[in-house]
Amino acid sequence: MTWDITGMAAVANIGANPSEIFAALCAGLESRKPLRAFDPDNYRAKYAYEIDDRPEGGGDIPRRATRWLTTVVRQAVANAGLGEDLSQVPVLVGTTMREQRSLELWWRGDAEVGLEDLHFGTALKAAFGASTTYTFANACSATLYALGMATDMIEAGMADTVVVAGTDAATESGFGTLDRVQNDIPDALRPFDATHKGMLMGEGAAAVVVQRTGTPGGGPVHARVRGVSMNCDAHHATAPDPDGITSAVLDAYRRAGVRACDIDLVMLHGSGTPLNDATESSVLRRIFDGAGPGPRMTAIKAMTGHTLGGSGLLSLVMAVLAMKERTVPPVLGLADPIPEAAGLGLVQGSPVSGDLAIAQIDAFGFGGINAVAIVEAAR
pLDDT at 215 over 90: no
Final residue in a domain of this structure, among 212, 232, 260: 212
- What's the chain's average pLDDT? 94
Q: What is the structure's pLDDT at 66?
A: 98
Of 212, 237, 267, the residue that ends a domain is 212
Residue-wise pLDDT tens digits, 55-75: 887 678 999 999 999 999 999
Same domain flag for 238 and 157:
no
Q: Is residue 218 part of a domain?
A: no
User: Residues with Cβ < 8 Å from 354, sequence gap 6 or more?
Assistant: 264, 296, 326, 328
* Amino acid 186: pLDDT: 92
| Residue 251 counted as domain residue | yes
Split at pLDDT 50, 70, 90, the class of 214 is: confident
> Do 287 and 361 sit in the same domain of this protein?
yes
Q: Would residue 261 count as lying in a domain?
A: yes
- Asked if the structure places residue 42 within a domain, the reply is yes
pLDDT at 236: 83
pLDDT grade for 95, boundaries at 50, 70 and 90: very high
Percentage of the chain lying above the pLDDT 70 cut: 99
Whether residue 158 is found in the same domain as residue 267: no
Q: Are 141 and 306 in contact (CB under 8 A)?
A: no
Show the domain range for 23.
Answer: 3-212
Alpha-carbon 334 to chain mean position: 20
Contact 228, 141 (CB under 8 A): no
Alpha carbon 127 to chain centroid, angstroms: 24
Instruction: Give the model's confidence band at 350: pLDDT under 50 very low, under 70 low, under 90 confident, else very high.
Output: very high
d(CA 66, CA 341): 37
pLDDT value of position 288: 97
Give the pLDDT band of residue 278 (cuts 50, 70, 90): very high
Question: Do residues 15 and 48 share a domain?
Answer: yes
Domain match, 107 and 10 both: yes
pLDDT at 368: 82
pLDDT of residue 56: 80
Identify the pLDDT of residue 367: 83
**Rg, the chain, Cα only:** 19
- Residue 100 counted as domain residue: yes
pLDDT at 335: 96
Backbone torsions φ then ψ of 221, nearest 5 degrees = -80, 120
Shared-domain flag, residues 299 and 260:
yes
Q: What is the mean pLDDT of residues 72-95?
A: 97
Helix boundaries (H) for the chain = 18-27, 64-79, 100-107, 120-128, 142-155, 172-181, 242-256, 274-288, 301-304, 311-325
Residue range 226-238: average pLDDT?
A: 90
Report, as an integer, the average pLDDT of 50-55: 92
In terms of domains, do 118 and 22 share one?
yes
The helix or strand, by DSSP H or E, that contains position 266, with its residue range, turns out to be strand 265-267
Rounded mean pLDDT, 6-27: 98
Indicate whether 122 and 234 sit together in one domain: no
Structural domain ending residue among the three candidates 212, 241, 270: 212
In a domain, 217, yes or no: no
Domain presence at residue 72: yes
Residue 219 has pLDDT above 80, yes or no: no
Domain count, the chain: 2
Answer yes or no: is pLDDT of 379 > 80: no
| Category of 294 on φ-ψ map: left (φ > 0), alpha (ψ -120 to 50) or beta | left
Instruction: Answer whether 228's CB lies under 8 Å from 252's CB.
Output: yes
**Is residue 219 assigned to a domain?**
no
* Mean per-residue pLDDT, 31-47: 92
Q: Taking the alpha carbons of 29, 359, 16, 99 in that order, is the dihedral positive or negative? A: negative
CATH of the domain at 301: 3.40.47.10
CB-based contacts of 270, cutoff 8 Å, min separation 6 = 191, 192, 277, 280, 299, 300, 301, 302, 331
pLDDT value at residue 333: 96
3-state class of 338 per DSSP? coil
- Could you give the percent of the chain with pLDDT greater than 90? 84
Give the per-residue pLDDT at 193.
97
SS3 271: coil
- pLDDT reading at 303 higher than 90: yes
pLDDT higher than 80, residue 217: no
- Check if the beta carbon of residue 54 is closer than 8 Å to that of residue 62: no
**186 and 48 share one domain:** yes
So what's the pLDDT on residue 192?
Answer: 97
Per mean pLDDT, which range of 42-51, 83-92, 212-221 is the poorest? 212-221
